[in-house]
A and B are shown apart, each in its own frame.
Chain A
Amino acid sequence: MMTTMRASTAILLGLAIVGIVLPFTGLYVQFLMKCVSLALFAVAFNFFTGNVGLLSIGHAAFFGIGAYLAGYAVKEWNFTPELALGGSALAGAVLGLLMGGMAIRRQGIYFAMITLALAQMVYFFFVQAPFTGAEDGLQRIPRRAVFGMLDLSNDYVMYAFVLVLLVGVVWGLQRLMEAPFGQVLLAIRDNEPRAISLGYDVQSYKLSAFAISAAVAGLAGGIKALTLGFAGLPDAHWTQSGNVILMCLLGGLGTALGPIVGAVLIVTLESRLASLGVVQLGPLAIDLSSKVPTIIGLIFMMCVLLFRRGIVGEIAAAVAAFRAQRLDAKGG
C-alpha cells in the first residue's frame, strides 16, 4: 500500500512540475490550455473504461454539454468561471446518469452502440436547440475573474487555474480508486459474478463510475470553452468520442499517466501537421494539414494492431519485466 501511495504522489508531483515548467519553454499558452482540457477529457474517459472495462463511445455528449453550458452561462447569464465550470460538471453528471441508466445493464458491444446512439441524439438536440448557435456555435466567450480576484484574461493566470484543476481532479480520482468504492469497482471489473455473490449492487457502482466520468468530461468541456473562448458542434460530434478513445489507447488505457500523455501527443500532432502545410516529398506535393484525420486513423489502427498497452503501458510492462528478471537472477 505504501508503494502505491508513493507512486501516485510522484505522478501528481511530476505532472504539476511539468505543467509549471512548460510555459517557460516557449510553447504557446493557448496550445497548453488545449492540452489541459483534452487531457482532463481523456482522464475522464479512462476513469470509466479503464476501471469498469466497458467501452463508451458517447463521451463527446458530456464534453459538448459542458462546453455549451459554461459558454452560455458566462456569456448570457454573467456567471463567474468557477460557477460556470461547476455547472458544466453537474450537467455532465446529470446527462451521464440519464445515458448510463439506459445503457449500463447491457454488456460489451451493446453498451458501446447504445452510448454512441444516445450521444448522437444529444448531438441532434444541440443542432436544433436555440441556445447553441447551431453551426456558428458560441463565440467570443469572455473570461471573467475567478473567485472575484484572479483575472483570467491573462493567459498565464488562466493556464495556472486550469492546471490546478487538472492536477486536483487527477488527485481526487486517485484517492477515489484507493477508497473502498474504487476497490469494489476493480473487483467488479475482474470478476463480476463474484462481486454480485458478495452482495454488491454492481449496477449502481458502474452507474456511479459512469456519472463521475461524465462529470469530469463535462468539466473538461467547460474548461475548453472558457480557455479557447469557443463552444460548437464539433465538441459534441461522435468523432470527438473517437478522439478521446485514441488518446487513451495511444498513451495507455488504464494507466494513470497514459491518458494525459496520449492527449498531449495527439494535440501536438494535430497542431504540427496543420502548421507544416504543404510538404514536398520528391515529385509529390502533399498538403499535410488536410491529412490530419487520415493520419489519426492510421495511428488508431497501428495502436490496436501493434501496441495495445499504449506508450505508458509498454514502458510499465518493460520495467516490470526488467525487475522480474533481476529478481530471478538474485533468486537463481
Chain B
Amino acid sequence: MFDFPIQVLLGQVTIGLVNGCFYAILSLGLALIFGLLNIINFAHGALYMLGAFGVYLAMHKLGVNYWWSLVAVPIVVGVFGALVERYLLRRLAGLDHLYSLLLTFGLALVIESIFRDIYGSGGLPYPTPSELRGLIDLGFMRLPLYRIWIVGISLVVCLAIWLLIERTRLGSYLRAGTENARIVQALGINIPLMVTFVYALGAGLAAFAGVLAAPIYQVQPLMGSNILIVTFAVVVIGGLGSTAGAIITGLGLGLIEGLAKVVYPEVSSTIVFIVMMLVLLLRPAGLFGREA
C-alpha cells in the first residue's frame, strides 16, 4: 500500500501546506471578525476571489506587476470591506446575528455572479512572477520556489497578525472588545471604528490569500465559495476561540488533505469534513474552542 515514490508524497505535502496557509489566513480573518462582530462572514470567499481577480485585472488592465498588487490589492479590498461594514452591516447591528450572516450570504452571491457573468466560469491563468519561477533542489527533491514563497510569506503574515493581537496596545483593545464591547466603549475606546477596522483587516487578509493563490490556482469566480466551505469546516474543527488555534488548525488540515491525496485520493475532497465530524462527536466545542 505504501509504495508510492517519496517525491510524490513530498510534492503533495507541500501542496497541502500551501492550501493549509490559505485556510489559516482565511480562518484567521473569520475568527477576528467573529470575535468583534459576532457574525460569520459568508462573503469571505468572495473577498478571497476579489483578491485573485484584483491581481489579474491589475496586470491586464493597468499593467501593475505582482509585487505592487500584493500590497495594493489587499488595501483596496480592505477599503471595500470597510464600506460594506459601515454602510450595510452596521444597519443590522443589534438585531439577531443571523440577519448579518444572511446579508453577507447575499453579498457573496452578488459579487460572485457579477464576475461569473463577465468572465465566465472557466479559469484565467496568471503567470508566476519571474523572480519566483524555477525549482529549488533540496537534494532529495525539487521544490517549486513559488510554493516556498507562499508558505514563508503566509507564516510571516500570520505571525504579524498574532503579534498585533497579543502584543500591542491596539490588540489589547481588540481582545477586550471581544470580551465585552459595551464596557470597553464606556472606557472611551471607539468600538464602532474598531469594528470597521477589523472587518477591513479580515477582508484584506482574504484578498491577500487570493493574490497569493492566483499564480498556482487559476483565477475563477467560484474559487471563493469552494474554499470557504472547507474553511468553515476548519473553523468548526479549531473553534473560533484563539488566533493561534486558527493558524495551527488551518495548516494541519491542509497537510492532512495533502496526505490524503497520496494515500487515498477518493476521500481527499471530503477528508476535512470527515475530521470535522469526528471532532464534533469527540470534542463538540472544537479543538481550541471556548464555547460550551
Contact = CB atoms under 8 A, between A and B. Distances in A.
A304 B95 CA distance: 11
A290 B117 contact: yes
Contact of A113 (B40, B95, B225): B40
A305 B291 contact: no
A55 B101 contact: yes
Interface stretch (A22-30, A100-108, A262-270, A275-283): A100-108
A321 B38 CA distance: 33
State the majority secondary structure of interface residues on A: helix
Contact of A106 (B102, B112, B284): B284
Contact of B273 (A118, A238, A303): A118
A297 B280 contact: no
A290 B269 CA distance: 30
Interface residues of A, number: 40
B117 to A, nearest CB: 5
A319 interface: no
Interface in B52-78: none
Interface in A113-129: 113-114, 116-118, 120-121, 124-125, 127-128
A294 B34 contact: no
A101 to B, nearest CB: 9
A112 B40 contact: yes
A109 interface: yes
B88 interface: yes
A157 interface: no
Most B CB contacts (10 A, CB to CB) among A103, A125, A301 go to: A301
A112 B280 CA distance: 14
Contacts of B113: 291, 293-294, 296-297
A23 B136 CA distance: 70
A293 B235 CA distance: 28
Contacts, number: 108
A294 B114 contact: yes
Interface string B82-105: 000000100110010111011101
Given A112-B40, A305-B92, A300 B102 contact: yes
Most A CB contacts (10 A, CB to CB) among B95, B113, B114 go to: B113
A117 B276 contact: yes
Nearest to A109: B40
A75 interface: no
Contacts of A103: 280
B101 A102 contact: no
B107 A297 contact: yes
A252 B78 CA distance: 34
B134 interface: no
Given A108-B97, A113-B236, A125-B270, A249 B102 contact: yes
B276 A305 contact: no
Nearest to B103: A304
B273 A120 contact: yes
Given A124-B269, A125-B270, A294-B110, A105 B225 contact: no
Interface residues of B, number: 42
Contact of B88 (A118, A121, A125, A305): A305
Interface string A301-332: 10111001000000000000000000000000
Nearest to B233: A117
A112 B228 CA distance: 13
B235 A113 contact: yes
B173 interface: no
B235 A55 contact: no
A111 B98 CA distance: 11
A160 B9 CA distance: 59
A86 interface: no
Interface string A230-253: 000000001100100110010000
A305 B99 CA distance: 8
A308 B107 contact: no
Given A297-B113, A305-B91, A109 B284 contact: no
Most A CB contacts (10 A, CB to CB) among B229, B276, B284 go to: B229
Interface in B244-274: 266, 269-270, 273-274
Contact of A301 (B40, B88, B112, B233): B88
Contacts of B225: 238
A293 B233 contact: no
Contacts of B277: 102, 118
A293 B291 contact: no
Contacts of A297: 106-110, 113
Contacts of A127: 269
A131 interface: no
Contacts of B197: none
A242 B102 CA distance: 9
Interface string B224-245: 0100010011011000000000
B182 interface: no
Contacts of B187: none
Q: Which 5 A-B pairs have the closest CB atoms?
A: A297-B109, A300-B106, A293-B113, A297-B110, A121-B273
Interface of B: 34, 38-40, 88, 91-92, 95, 97-99, 101-103, 105-110, 112-114, 116-117, 225, 229, 232-233, 235-236, 266, 269-270, 273-274, 276-277, 280-281, 284, 291
Given A238-B229, A297-B107, 7 more contacts: A106-B284, A113-B235, A246-B106, A291-B113, A300-B105, A304-B92, A308-B95
